[in-house]
């Protein structure tokens, strides 16, 4: 009996040491798995950014091209692309002899919310900014691309398909957050319900296909006789130019574009007011549960990460600066252009340096921003 207990005690001590060793090995294995998991996440992010950067030519977006250009084993690339297709972030496009991977309409949003990819401001501007080249070749798909000759030289200016989709997603989401702070959306809906009744609103919602048909009639994307770039600028006043002299045409284009620039600038000013009041951390806390509507992807079993992202602002300031470049060509008021550029710079640096709000900083956002810019 005694020997049995002694054996049990001895065996217990022996197994305890073994278990410690086994536990150590198990923990090392877990750390190795976590390391592999993190490496795969980073590779996924790299591939997504590669696709954004190269979306002007889809022949560079095939499994083979990605593997070759990034120096990755094709099996690893295939595995990651397959997962992204399963998550509805990517789809395979059949273009003759090539089968490139392109983003679904909500793919960028899904990459942000589900995969939690992130960009630095510099990286975002490099990926999404307008590009220029002497010539564009390859499989072009859905990209804003224009060719023209300046001083006898052919110039191509463009933004890749995925880069344009990414920019659109980020800017639209930014505008959603600005609107969500300013308005009590529940009360807004209550007013509409009282005006039409729940029953009538449900009936109207079911008429979305009819509304979309009518929108094709009232929304102008191109106007005969007008260069494409003026289609949006002159949407409301295109008939007026038919009887105007050249200076009158220039004047109406400038005035219309100034209105558009002021409207865009007002949205950034509204955001500046929110940031000044809440500060960087307060802004993120206020919007931590805000679910974006634009380009949102819902996948079973996935845990999205919503809330305000700095990338939303950085994409918006990029869009504003590119709008200012057009304004300069049109001869728009220089003070207005300078004001737009200044607020873009101040908002960018406010997020980079995590401006804490007027109560803690002791000065308003604009004054704080000017000090920061002058010290750079």
Please give the share of the chain, as a percent, with pLDDT higher than 90. Answer: 51
CA pair distance 88, 113, nearest whole angstrom: 13
Any idea where the domains of the chain sit in the sequence? Answer: 1-104, 160-374
pLDDT at 5: 41
The DSSP letter of residue 364 is -
pLDDT at 366: 96
Q: For residue 80, is pLDDT > 80?
A: yes
Q: Which CATH class is domain 1-104?
A: mainly alpha
Q: For the chain, what is the mean pLDDT?
A: 85
**CA 185 centroid distance within chain:** 23
> In whole angstroms, how far apart are CA 83 and each of 45, 88, 90, 195, 221?
13, 9, 9, 47, 36
pTM comes to 0.82
The DSSP letter of residue 207 is T
Higher pLDDT, 99 or 237: 99
Nearest CA to 48 out of 71, 80, 74 is that of: 80
Residue 160 in contact with residue 55, Cβ under 8 Å?
yes
pLDDT band at 69 (very low <50, low <70, confident <90, very high): very high
What are the tens digits of pLDDT across the range 300-340? 888 899 999 999 999 999 999 999 999 998 999 999 999 99
pLDDT band at 22 (very low <50, low <70, confident <90, very high): low
Higher pLDDT, 274 or 303: 274
Q: Which two tokens stand for residue 72?
A: 């990755």
Q: For residue 6, is pLDDT > 50?
A: no
* Mean pLDDT of the region 243-271: 89
pLDDT at 271: 96
Helices (H), the chain: 2-53, 63-70, 74-86, 107-113, 121-128, 161-182, 185-196, 198-205, 208-218, 230-233, 246-286, 310-330, 334-352, 358-361, 365-374
Beta carbons within 8 Å of 87's beta carbon, 6+ residues apart: 110, 114, 115, 297, 299, 302
218-231 burial string, b = 16+ CB within 10 Å, else e? eeeeeeeeeeeebe
Residues in the chain: 376
């Amino acid at each position: 009996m005694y020997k049995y207990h002694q054996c049990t005690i001895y065996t217990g001590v022996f197994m305890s040491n073994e278990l410690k060793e086994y536990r150590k090995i198990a923990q090392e294995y877990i750390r190795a798995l976590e390391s592999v998991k993190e490496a795969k996440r980073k590779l996924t992010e790299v591939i997504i950014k590669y696709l954004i950067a190269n979306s002007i030519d889809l022949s560079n977006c095939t499994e083979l091209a990605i593997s070759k250009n990034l120096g990755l084993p094709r099996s690893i690339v295939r595995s990651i692309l397959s997962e992204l297709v399963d998550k509805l972030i990517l789809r395979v496009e059949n273009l003759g002899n090539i089968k490139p991977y392109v983003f679904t309409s909500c793919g960028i949003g899904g990459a942000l919310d589900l995969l939690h990819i992130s960009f630095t401001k510099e990286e975002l501007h490099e990926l999404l900014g307008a590009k220029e080249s002497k010539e564009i070749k390859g499989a072009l798909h859905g990209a804003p691309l224009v060719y023209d000759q300046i001083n006898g030289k052919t110039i191509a200016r463009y933004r890749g398909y995925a880069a344009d989709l990414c920019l659109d997603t980020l800017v639209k989401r930014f505008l959603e957050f600005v609107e969500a702070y300013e308005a009590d959306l529940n009360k807004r809906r209550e007013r509409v319900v009282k005006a039409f009744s729940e029953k009538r609103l449900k009936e109207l919602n079911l008429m979305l296909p009819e509304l979309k048909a009518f929108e094709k009639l009232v929304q102008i994307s191109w106007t005969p006789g007008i260069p494409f770039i003026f289609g949006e600028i002159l949407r409301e006043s295109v008939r007026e130019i038919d009887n105007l002299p050249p200076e009158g045409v220039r004047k109406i284009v400038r005035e219309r574009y100034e209105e558009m620039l002021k409207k865009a600038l007002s949205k950034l000013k509204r955001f500046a007011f929110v940031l000044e009041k809440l500060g960087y951390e307060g802004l993120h806390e206020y919007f931590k549960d805000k679910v974006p509507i634009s380009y949102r992807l819902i996948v079973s079993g996935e845990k999205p990460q919503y809330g305000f992202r700095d990338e939303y602002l950085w994409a918006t300031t990029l869009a504003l600066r590119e709008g200012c470049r057009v304004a300069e060509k049109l001869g728009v008021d220089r003070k207005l252009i300078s004001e737009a550029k200044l607020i873009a710079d101040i908002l960018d640096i406010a997020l980079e340096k995590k401006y804490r709000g007027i109560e803690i900083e002791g000065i308003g956002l604009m004054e704080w921003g000017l000090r920061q810019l002058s010290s750079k």
